[in-house]
Structure 1
């Protein structure tokens, strides 16, 4: 009897503890049990091998890869679904670098300029006739942009175009070129297309441009400047665009650039996937689109899809819009955790204020995720707290102030960073999305950085390997890890 009574008492006491524990604040309960799924195994050796692979690709193998990818076909899942292949730049163009550190520096230089342009209230614009800056080669930059192949004209000719969720205007380099940079494909010649039509100055497309000019003719001239000093200028036209074997759309406004400069090297132009009226999703009346960005050091490909249903197991978050900056896709982020511990930051720090400032956007063109300084400091300090006995620290690198020497390790135990959205939805990042390689010797850094501005950005380092779906009808953003 005594033994039975003791057992019953112990069982009741144990149940009471569990029930009491369940009512603790989530941040406290998570901090008390950091070992339950709050860290991940990071394959250090595999990541280092990818840095060597991206530099060892030779021109012949790259051409073979390109030919193979050109032969791939995509078939629509429904008559209204369009799909094209998407590739990292390195799978099509060999980086012109002797070591991975040099490639990293060039990517970060491009990233600095990118973030600067996104976080400024406005962009400096130059009228088309005032552009006289000589062309400069960007081949040494080797930025981390991703390309998708789009057909243009009739008969259709396919071009590799940089995709950009932070831009609206679609454009191609066009003959005749007053200044054109080096690209992988032949330059588009509008005289060879039966569906090419110049846009007039009184058109709605011309009115939608931030900068246009009609001083010399009735043809609408456009110009777009980017924060890194790159620009494109030429005439605005409508064309037929084709999505591989999955269909085509007529009368899409596209810039025919005769004067182009900057870091778009390799691509034939830019595919704007933003939220403005001239973006590709807007012009084809897409109800949704999605993409999956593969590892930028790989030679693999994924897809960019329009009007297709997202994965059923996606982590869904509110897609928010800003009336003062309609290009960007804002996401309703409520918090961030590291190692299961919620960061002590106010939820409204990620909200857009009444002046249109603040918020956090999802951007395909930014490499390193930027967080407001107070948020970043909290993330960094918490990450270091959980990593201090597992990851040997080393000196910082450029914008990264938190780096680790993993040269003696084949695998490492890395604290899990997670984004928390409304409705108790959580996106846990893989370790490879948390640490980025700096060289080929084993130096890795925390893939986040602070920003002095109010706008935060979820960059492509955190998006790699995850299908990001934009439900434009229901205003939702979906994140589906491992769905490339």
Structure 2
């Protein structure tokens, strides 16, 4: 058991460390970028005044907020040269990603969100916008901006919202696609749908990317944040619009260490080649085409397995932006009871820092049970660091919580697994590895 367990991971894409090109077509096949921990001193948003306990508590609160958010309800061609550089910075439960938009390109920070699809930026004129440090994006200053009509395919792909008696998307005064897109935390964006060139530095260009030019936006957003980049699996997400790079990405999250970086890989570079690979289907859901649904069949603690009653149609979301794993309440209670029985320690705290099961005098605990998570077709053997996290030098807490909302498989449970999302093959794959060496 290490003295520090991973908190919520955030991507900071410091540089494109590698990419591959198809020699026959000179088209990109994949690339990878660096990741660092959201609370690492390497992060430009690192808050040195926060204690370790405060970071742990904030991560737990973000996990619950993320669950509440999930509970709500034409590809471009990539052109890549010899190097790519971009950055992603922490912002609560999500990530801030550096991205360039327009021609000539202007650099902006935007939330990278695995729980939504639409890409949007605050655009001028912006009479009802939240404050941001950078200027609003001006589509009139870009030679590559094009408005989309209300009968275009991308407009038809937008979700429908009823707002003050009006149904969105709708036709504007010049037949433009006027959209409204809201989120579970009551934030929203309202504006005009168009296409624009977006890039991660000048070396990786994605022309004619569908995005929203928001003129009426609301939310508790950081002033560094100029918009949002959807990374879900819907047709309007950045992942779905990456063209020849392909709809595949992977990451490998190491235990927290301020000196360790890891990789986020796209396209062919995202394919896992390590031993011990197991895969589970991505489940199509009638509730959402955005989220990454899996089937959780049960959890084994020690030698006893607890089966989940609902094992069809996708009963849990896998999400790298959520710290803790959130389980249906009755199922959680059975798992927690087995953990208590297996650990056998008398001194436990019912709740601390929003955690339900915590132990003190950690060094005296000898019995960390076998812990296996059973997805359809994929059994994952977790280490203690995947289901316990240190709150202080002598207190550790179970890294899972009960929820009456959307169950989520969080990132603590994913430490030292390479995780691959293949949207075309409709599967998520796992391989146990030492992510500090990736």
Per the alignment, residue 304 of structure 1 pairs with 264
| Cα shift readout 1:260-297 (whole Å, capped 9, x = no counterpart) | 33344244332212121211222234242223445678
Indicate the RMSD between aligned Cα atoms, in angstroms: 3.4
Per the normalisation by structure 2, the TM-score is 0.77
Per the alignment, residue 227 of structure 2 pairs with 269
| Cα shift readout 1:88-110 (whole Å, capped 9, x = no counterpart) | 54423134864344444444444
Maintained 8 Å contact 1:89/1:147: no
Match of 2:70, SS state, is helix
Partner residue of 1:350 out of 302, 311, 332: 311
Change (3 A) 1:293 1:229: farther
Which residues of 2 match residues 278-357 of structure 1 at below 5 A? 278-285=236-243, 286-293=246-253, 298=258, 301-308=261-268, 309-313=270-274, 314-339=277-302, 341-346=303-308, 349-352=310-313
Aligned length: 394
| Cα shift readout 1:7-38 (whole Å, capped 9, x = no counterpart) | xxxxxxxxxxxxxxxxxxxxxxxxxxxxxxxx
| Cα shift readout 1:111-134 (whole Å, capped 9, x = no counterpart) | 3332123234x3xxxxxxxxxxxx
Deviation at 1:302, TM superposition (A): 3.5
Which residues of 2 match residues 19-418 of structure 1 at below 5 A? 42-44=1-3, 46-47=4-5, 70=14, 72-78=15-21, 79-90=28-39, 91-95=43-47, 98-120=50-72, 122=73, 143-181=92-130, 187-210=136-159, 211-244=168-201, 247-265=204-222, 266-285=224-243, 286-293=246-253, 298=258, 301-308=261-268, 309-313=270-274, 314-339=277-302, 341-346=303-308, 349-352=310-313, 359-389=315-345, 392-397=347-352, 399-406=354-361, 409=363, 414-418=368-372
| Cα shift readout 1:344-392 (whole Å, capped 9, x = no counterpart) | 325x52322xxxxx61221233332111122211211111112124x84
| Cα shift readout 1:275-327 (whole Å, capped 9, x = no counterpart) | 21211222234242223445678475443332124222333222221134211
Maintained 8 Å contact 2:306/2:335: no
Distance 2:429 2:133 in 1: 33
Unaligned segments of structure 1, at least 5 residues? 1-41, 55-64, 123-140, 353-357
Distance 1:412 1:324 in 2: 44
Return the structure number with greater strand share: 2
Per the alignment, residue 424 of structure 2 pairs with 473
Change (3 A) 1:85 1:182: farther
Return the structure number with greater helix share: 1
Per the normalisation by structure 1, the TM-score is 0.71
Unaligned segments of structure 2, at least 5 residues? 22-27, 74-89, 160-167
Deviation at 1:183, TM superposition (A): 5.6
Match of 1:77, SS state, is strand
Distance 1:465 1:180 in 2: 40
